[in-house]
Amino acid sequence: MSQETLSNLLQENRRFAPPPELAASANVTAQTYEEAAADRLGFWERQAERLTWAKPWNEVLDWSNPPFAKWFVGGELNVAYNCVDRHVEAGLGDRVAYHWEGEPGDTRTLTYADLQREVAKAANALLELGVRKGDRVAIYLPMIPELPISMLACARIGATHSVVFAGFSAEALRTRIADAQAKVVITADGQNRRGKHAALKPTVDDAVASTPDVEHVLVVRRTGQEVAHHERDVWWHDLVERQSTEHTAEPHDAEHPLYILYTSGTTGKPKGILHTSGGYLTQVAYTHHAVFDLKPETDVYWCSADIGWVTGHSYIVYGPLANGATSVIYEGTPDTPHQGRWWEIIEKYKVTLFYTAPTAIRTFMKWGEEIPARHDLSSLRLIGSVGEPINPEAYVWYRERIGAGRCPVVDTWWQTETGGIMVSPLPGVTEGKPGAAMRPLPGIVADVVDDQGQSVPNGGGGFLVVKEPWPSMLRTIWGDDERYVKTYWSRFEGMYFAGDGAKKDDDGDFWLLGRVDDVMLVSGHNISTTEVESALVSHPKVAEAAVTGATDPVTGQAIVAFVIPRGNAGADVDGEEFVAELRDHVAKTLGPIAKPRQIMVVPELPKTRSGKIMRRLLRDVAENRSLGDVTTLTDSSVMDLISTKLPSAKSED
């Protein structure tokens, strides 16, 4: 008897058809799937025509040396010109590119014409600091306009940027600066976090003390807090402000390195994911147009991610700007000065398209639906999710409480490595299923395969793979081609292995089931963490859940769950009765095989700085081990809170 690769336990039958008005005027229709399938390269070639090229390509794809792809071979373009100047030249200089909102309530509005001047000045400043085409620039900035401006200035002169999330430690920053051999670091004195000033410059000072390649540190004044001054330091307002607002953008090769972005990776040395220019910009522009149904004349788009993550690179900076969109950028945290801050921002700017992460949605569920209910969210017409599997209940809560039951939800699956969205509903075409990312987008060939690399039938589970190269794919791991091949292209012959588990339902639609490293082997069944978590979140008193497998003498591994109750769940959520109720609820929803051995009610869960649950640490707790590497954890006190919960953990049966 062959063992199934990944069990399919969760049944979910709710369906949401696209709103008729949206379907009637949607940017992309059903027929695009067929067109792209019939001629995939021709399809991507047409999408590349959304951009302005200085020199046309002579070949769409060179895949003669897999897995090293070249897209739009021979073509030349300037990414910053495509994101900024060409819109000004088209007469759209007065259109707002960014409505920026600081955490303390200060604001800045940047039109495309403003952005053009700011980017030109910053490009001239980098040139004055000696940065040349091909050099690397590290950027360690908070969510202020100088962040996208710096990225675009690099792109403009052909320098490769490496943005490091401004919450990482000096050591994390140092290794990233050193790996990329960055010549310049751009930072700020500090940032606004939860109503306080959090220093950034001392972290950079620490990091560059032992990175000999760094020649200059360019410092933006944001908080006004005092900073140490070193000879290599230069203030943004001294250097950039006096530059000319004119700079001619030279075209660069389609395969010119645009940026390196280090994946946090739960173990091992961070991987510098390398993205290049023409293919990357083509796919992020197309997917932003298709998945968000962007109408740049009327939409106001807000992606709440930090630009320090790939979501911010692709869907705050490059995709939206290439499309001439108007976006919102918010500097701070969602609960400053109150838990309705995000909804206030949506109301203020009349946001129409909103893109956030399941971790945020589950936090809002915990805080309570009365908070968004106090705000007018009627401007919204589409809402999206990215970063983790969205539990069906969180999807429905999001659809109803934020989207008023009107807005389609697009659950978009992709990775730092894929550069752009790969699997997602099309809002004017797809009947949405809560919890499903649905189908590979037109032009993307993805599948779910078993451990032999064979496509699983509908109803089966396995590994998510991509079977054909795509334009915004990573080109390599910076400085480590071998690791690139080994990590992504060795598990299955000729396929990109994403590291995620997935299943196909009876219609062939894709459901993401979490990282394969997290899959639990219980009595011979491979059970996904996602399905058990979703079953827990479908209980009306649960806002968020994380499960992990712990060694068990009888079943091999046993399921251990950590749950956060909803705000309105009442006082009885810490007792044995509640835990018993949840265990039964899971058994009823998924079957007895998935019944957790233990459930712990906790106030918080350990998460990466981009909001993904770190199940590895929970496994350490569940197996009574000392914690492994916690450097990517947002808040290490969370683990203390969880550990103190242990004695009260319930273990029956």
Binding-site annotation, residues for Mg(2+): 537, 539, 542
How far is it, in rounded angstroms, from Cα 427 to Cα 291?
6
- The piece of 148-156, 233-241, 308-316, 563-571 that touches ligand 6R9 (CB under 6 A) is 308-316
Q: How far is CA 226 from CA 79, 200, 216, 236, 515, in A?
A: 36, 11, 19, 15, 43
Contact positions with ligand 6R9 (CB under 6 A) in 230-269 = 263
Name the residue among 584, 602, 507 with its Cα closest to residue 545.
Answer: 602
465 and 415 Cβ atoms separated by less than 8 Å:
no
The count of residues interacting with ligand 6R9 (CB under 6 A) is: 21
For residue 62, count other CB atoms closer than 10 A to its CB: 15
- The piece of 13-21, 157-165, 381-389, 550-558 that touches ligand 6R9 (CB under 6 A) is 381-389
- Contact pattern from residue 158 through residue 187 relative to ligand 6R9, giving x for each residue in contact according to CB under 6 A and a dash for the rest: ------------------------------
Contact positions with ligand 6R9 (CB under 6 A) in 346-375 = none
The nearer residue to ligand 6R9, 88 or 473, going by C-beta atoms, is 473
Please give the single-letter amino acid code of residue 96: V
- The piece of 149-157, 249-257, 305-313, 565-573 that touches ligand 6R9 (CB under 6 A) is 305-313
Residue spans of alpha helices (H) in 86-200: 86-87, 112-128, 146-157, 170-180
Look at the block and give the residue holding tokens 């479908």. Answer: 538
Query: Order of strands, edge to edge, in the sheet holding 301-303?
Result: 107-111, 96-101, 327-330, 301-303, 353-356, 382-385, 409-411
Name the residue among 506, 508, 387, 391 with its Cα closest to residue 447.
Answer: 508
* Least separation in angstroms between CB 388 and ligand 6R9: 5
* Least separation in angstroms between CB 195 and ligand 6R9: 28
Among 155, 281, 437, 600, binds ligand 6R9 (CB under 6 A): 437
Q: What angle do CA 435, 436, 439 make, to 5 degrees?
A: 165
Beta bridge partners of 54: none
The nearer residue to ligand 6R9, 179 or 306, going by C-beta atoms, is 306
94 and 221 Cβ atoms separated by less than 8 Å:
no
How far is it, in rounded angstroms, from Cα 72 to Cα 49?
11
How far is it, in rounded angstroms, from Cα 631 to Cα 633?
6
- The piece of 176-184, 190-198, 405-413, 625-633 that touches ligand 6R9 (CB under 6 A) is 405-413
Among 500, 505, 518, 531, binds ligand 6R9 (CB under 6 A): 500
The nearer residue to ligand 6R9, 412 or 557, going by C-beta atoms, is 412
Among 272, 324, 340, 387, binds ligand 6R9 (CB under 6 A): 387
* Least separation in angstroms between CB 464 and ligand 6R9: 8
* Least separation in angstroms between CB 426 and ligand 6R9: 15
Q: What is the 3-state secondary structure (H, E, C) of 558-572?
A: EEEEEEEECCCCCHH
As annotated, the binding site includes 193-196, 311, 387-389, 411-416, 500, 515, 523, 537, 539, 542
Residues 6+ apart with CB under 8 A from 480: 271, 272
Residues 6+ apart with CB under 8 A from 375: 340, 343, 344, 346, 347
- The piece of 220-228, 328-336, 411-419, 440-448 that touches ligand 6R9 (CB under 6 A) is 411-419
Q: How far is CA 633 from CA 61, 273, 606, 613, 639, in A?
A: 39, 21, 7, 9, 9
Residues 6+ apart with CB under 8 A from 91: none
When asked if residue 413 is in the footprint of ligand 6R9 (CB under 6 A), the reply is yes
When asked if residue 389 is in the footprint of ligand 6R9 (CB under 6 A), the reply is yes
- The piece of 143-151, 304-312, 316-324, 448-456 that touches ligand 6R9 (CB under 6 A) is 304-312
When asked if residue 472 is in the footprint of ligand 6R9 (CB under 6 A), the reply is no
Look at the block and give the residue holding tokens 């752009």. Answer: 420
- Provide the sign of the torsion angle of the four alpha carbons 308, 311, 312, 314, taken in this order: positive
The nearer residue to ligand 6R9, 229 or 269, going by C-beta atoms, is 269
When asked if residue 283 is in the footprint of ligand 6R9 (CB under 6 A), the reply is no
Q: What is the 3-state secondary structure (H, E, C) of 577-618?
A: HHHHHHHHHHHHHHCHHHCCCEEEECCCCCEECCCCECHHHH
Please give the single-letter amino acid code of residue 573: V
Name the residue among 462, 463, 412 with its Cα closest to residue 440.
Answer: 412
How far is it, in rounded angstroms, from Cα 103 to Cα 200?
16
Among 386, 594, 602, 618, binds ligand 6R9 (CB under 6 A): 386
Among 349, 610, 632, 638, binds ligand 6R9 (CB under 6 A): 610
As annotated, the binding site for ATP includes 387-389, 411-416, 500, 515
The nearer residue to ligand 6R9, 167 or 389, going by C-beta atoms, is 389
- The piece of 94-102, 170-178, 409-417, 542-550 that touches ligand 6R9 (CB under 6 A) is 409-417
Among 22, 88, 274, 310, binds ligand 6R9 (CB under 6 A): 310
Among 412, 430, 538, 548, binds ligand 6R9 (CB under 6 A): 412
- The piece of 139-147, 158-166, 471-479, 493-501 that touches ligand 6R9 (CB under 6 A) is 493-501
When asked if residue 518 is in the footprint of ligand 6R9 (CB under 6 A), the reply is no
The nearer residue to ligand 6R9, 255 or 500, going by C-beta atoms, is 500
When asked if residue 414 is in the footprint of ligand 6R9 (CB under 6 A), the reply is yes
> How many Å is the Cα radius of gyration of the chain?
24
Name the residue among 473, 358, 382 with its Cα closest to residue 432.
Answer: 382
When asked if residue 324 is in the footprint of ligand 6R9 (CB under 6 A), the reply is no
* Least separation in angstroms between CB 490 and ligand 6R9: 17
Tokens encoding 193 = 């976090």
- The piece of 40-48, 69-77, 207-215, 498-506 that touches ligand 6R9 (CB under 6 A) is 498-506
Look at the block and give the residue holding tokens 């792109």. Answer: 155
Among 411, 450, 505, 531, binds ligand 6R9 (CB under 6 A): 411
* Least separation in angstroms between CB 311 and ligand 6R9: 5
How far is it, in rounded angstroms, from Cα 545 to Cα 602?
9
As annotated, the binding site for CoA includes 193-196, 311, 523
* Least separation in angstroms between CB 348 and ligand 6R9: 27
When asked if residue 101 is in the footprint of ligand 6R9 (CB under 6 A), the reply is no
Residues that bind ligand 6R9 (CB under 6 A): 263, 309-311, 386-389, 411-416, 437, 498-500, 512, 515, 610
